[in-house]
């Protein structure tokens, strides 16, 4: 890993040149008091001093709705695959959202390679940026507070008067060489980086009271906990927690016919396991009819089934579901309550 340093003014020039020269650049933009990832028209649009965005950058890899193919009925029918993957630079991605992209890379690239996801993934350049947490972040509990070396092209950390830039790929190195003025890092810069990271770790207040690696085991022992009943009674089945989550990747596929009933499109849209009809199958049977089983399923996806398979939590600790849940259901309280219950039973 190579570490370079840029003066703050040089970072602004770098971003300005990226926006002017690359086919597309997006980043965190302030909108109606919140932050969203959106197209950057100039460096003034970019606001790197943000805690979180409403939706994660996942939306550029796996859009909320996309056309998979167009078809025309006839003899023979005509089918044209649709694959849109324009080059894009995504600026300001936090470590937890880089971890989210690691998770969707697994989901769309391991057993069944998803061609559309893969093409967009290859077309996207990721420039990460470090952050300071709010009261909902619990990234340190799931090990997603630091940028992983293979997860970004460049990663920027504010160390006061300057920023450090970690180079994560040859693509990132080429961008830096082409558009930025930077220098080698000194011992003082490294000390500044360490200080900033320690300050971030100290600022994370929400936490899981259990080693994340123990969670599959814990969840195995609490599948009949009364807590699921209580959470099910509170849950509105609104699906917000699924929509905002960087690692939720469920979708539905349907055909949209034109009025001429001859042509149409196959569409996929985000779906969510907390929605009432998510588990309804042919014949009308819903195998997760009760809210408690849907809420429980969501937790088992994040901390049990996929963790057992990949050895890492499929929750990044980003806190988006905690912020958006009108019923105040959130992972730290849920996991800590389950842990307390397991400990009481053990005593
Ligand atoms: S956001 Fe909260 S209320 Fe809505 S489905 Fe998720 S857990 Fe239930
Ligand atoms: S489950 Fe909640 S905290 Fe965890 S990654 Fe998803 S939105 Fe973030």
Q: How confident is the model at residue 345 (pLDDT cuts 50, 70, 90)?
A: confident
Q: Which atom of ligand 2 is nearest to the CA of 136?
A: 3
C-alpha 321 to ligand 2 mean position (Å): 5
Q: Which atom of ligand 1 is nearest to the CA of 236?
A: 3
Is 235 in a helix, a strand, or coil?
A: coil
Assess whether 128 and 30 both reside in one domain. yes
Q: Of the residues 203, 232, 247, which one is the last residue of a structural domain?
A: 203
Assess whether 246 and 316 both reside in one domain. yes
> CA-CA distances (angstroms) from residue 10 to 3, 17, 86, 182, 183?
16, 10, 27, 8, 11
- Give residue 242's pLDDT: 98
> CA-CA distances (angstroms) from residue 79 to 75, 118, 255?
12, 21, 13
C-alpha 231 to ligand 1 mean position (Å): 9
pLDDT at 1 over 80: no
- Give residue 88's pLDDT: 98
Assess whether 226 and 143 both reside in one domain. no
Ligand 2 atom 6 nearest Cα: 245
Range of the domain at 115: 2-203
Query: Which residues have any ligand 2 atom within 6 Å of their CB?
Result: 244-247, 302, 315-321, 331
Average pLDDT, integer, range 165-184: 97
How many Cβ atoms are within 10 Å of 84's Cβ, its own excluded?
A: 11
| Dist. CA 272–CA 72, nearest whole Å | 30
Query: Which residues have any ligand 1 atom within 6 Å of their CB?
Result: 235-241, 274, 295, 324-327, 329
The total number of structural domains in the chain stands at: 2
Q: What is the pLDDT of residues 90-106, one digit of tens each?
A: 999 999 999 999 999 99
Q: How confident is the model at residue 318 (pLDDT cuts 50, 70, 90)?
A: very high
C-alpha 177 to ligand 2 mean position (Å): 36
Q: Of the residues 175, 203, 231, which one is the last residue of a structural domain?
A: 203
C-alpha 239 to ligand 1 mean position (Å): 6
Q: How confident is the model at residue 111 (pLDDT cuts 50, 70, 90)?
A: confident
pLDDT at 346 over 90: no
Average pLDDT, integer, range 305-322: 96
Ligand 2 atom 4 nearest Cα: 315
Assess whether 122 and 228 both reside in one domain. no
Assess whether 187 and 236 both reside in one domain. no
DSSP 164-188: EEEE-SHHHHHHHHHH---EE--HH
Assess whether 156 and 259 both reside in one domain. no
Q: Which atom of ligand 2 is nearest to the CA of 138?
A: 3
Assess whether 10 and 112 both reside in one domain. yes
Q: What is the value of pTM for the model shown?
A: 0.96
C-alpha 201 to ligand 1 mean position (Å): 28
Q: Which ligand is nearest to the CA of 136?
A: 2
Q: Which atom of ligand 2 is nearest to the CA of 319?
A: 3
């Amino acid at each position: 890993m190579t570490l370079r340093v840029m003066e703050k003014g040089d970072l602004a020039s770098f971003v300005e040149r990226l926006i002017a020269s690359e086919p597309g650049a997006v980043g965190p933009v302030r909108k109606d008091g919140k932050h969203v990832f959106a197209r950057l028209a100039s460096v003034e649009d970019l606001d790197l001093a943000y805690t979180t965005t409403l939706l994660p950058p996942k939306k550029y890899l796996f859009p909320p709705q996309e056309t998979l193919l167009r078809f025309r009925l006839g003899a023979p029918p005509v089918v044209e695959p649709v694959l849109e993957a324009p080059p894009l630079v995504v600026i300001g991605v936090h470590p937890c959202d880089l971890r989210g992209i690691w998770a969707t890379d697994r989901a769309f690239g391991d057993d069944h390679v998803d061609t559309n996801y893969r093409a967009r993934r290859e077309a996207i350049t990721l420039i990460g940026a470090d952050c300071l947490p709010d009261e909902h972040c619990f990234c340190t509990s799931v090990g997603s507070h630091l940028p992983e070396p293979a997860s970004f092209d460049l990663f920027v950390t504010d160390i006061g008067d300057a920023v450090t830039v970690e180079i994560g790929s040859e693509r990132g190195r080429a961008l830096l060489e082409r558009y930025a003025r930077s220098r080698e890092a000194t011992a003082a810069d490294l000390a500044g980086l360490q200080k900033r990271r320690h300050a971030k770790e100290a600022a994370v207040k929400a936490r899981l009271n259990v080693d994340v690696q123990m969670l599959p085991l814990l969840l195995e022992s609490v599948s009949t906990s009364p807590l699921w009943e209580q959470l099910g009674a509170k849950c509105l089945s609104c699906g917000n927690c699924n929509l905002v989550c960087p690692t939720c990747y469920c979708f539905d596929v349907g055909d949209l016919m034109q009025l001429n009933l001859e042509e149409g499109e196959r569409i996929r849209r985000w779906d969510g396991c907390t929605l009432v009809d998510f588990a309804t199958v042919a014949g009308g049977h819903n195998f997760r009819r009760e809210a408690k089983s849907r809420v429980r399923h969501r937790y088992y996806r994040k901390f049990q089934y996929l963790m057992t398979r990949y050895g890492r939590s499929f929750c990044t600790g980003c806190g988006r579901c905690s912020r958006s849940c009108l019923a105040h259901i959130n992972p730290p309280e849920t996991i800590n309550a389950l842990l307390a219950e397991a400990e009481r039973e053990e005593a």
